[in-house]
Structure 1
């Protein structure tokens, strides 16, 4: 697996460093609960500690990193209460976004969601490929964008870093990509058809299934 921790240009901003760190955590290069040290990260990225600290502070504000007094910074733990809370917040944002999208008559724009689903089909023989989870994320980002609500989009964006960590665990629970394709396609078609109630029921079922899968994957590891 190619590492995300390669040297970056000296004039890069802390936002680039933060993005690299997010990707590294999502790809499993850092495990939940693992401590991150400034010295080793600064050496890996080829940067000074100033911009690195700013980047790590951003990730702490996002909840991806947790600061323990006199101990340092650690990747957030994925225990059951945390996972359930992530999905609770995610469902609240996405369900509201779906209803708003239908109310705005965004059915034609929602056709773009079906295009994302079609990209998923290309991974029929590789259901655990990281690109499938990346497409899953893109689907839900576009779904929330249909609401045209800057605040919903901002709230969802804040959650996405933690959701990505959940998806990294969930992807190993699928033995076929078809299930994910069907779930997402049905949600997209309901939005295109302007059926808010059906879209909401399908989204809730999708979230419930995802929550069960993440809990099972994390529980298996800890067990």
Structure 2
């Protein structure tokens, strides 16, 4: 008669999964390879329309299967978010707590970084771009509020909205494509405009126009 198993003995279902540091390292390397491929594709896109940035296209560019991409990213949105985060890291821009005193330098850094893209049009047609807009406008408004604690809300909003114009790639496009200015000249002119606004804010001057005017 076969000997009975001792109570508490580990069966197949209770076996502990083996953690392989090498396998984990390979998995992380594959994930980074996929994100790098997505970043390269965005840099070469003719517009900011990310609808074609999907697992099939990114996987092909990375040299992995679409199935492999989906093992690392559950859906297209998570893939695009990871690629966007990589672009933010590449830009060396941090607007988590933007200060007006740093805004000119931040805009200059952003505009120089945008020159590394092939985008011919900045018209956004992806919800992810809307998220970026909200993130940026909130950071701008927070910076203005901290710099102008005694201003009425509508004056703070006016200043933040005008600063937002200086942040828009369309302004850079206008100067480079219509006026034919090179990148350095464009960045210099836009930061000069910021200096004018920064001086106005420091001297308590703003467009005093309310929401119902």
Give yes or no for TM over 0.5: no
* Larger relative strand fraction: 1
Sort the TM-score into its range (normalised by shorter chain): 0.3 to 0.5
Task: Normalising by structure 2, report the TM-score.
Answer: 0.34
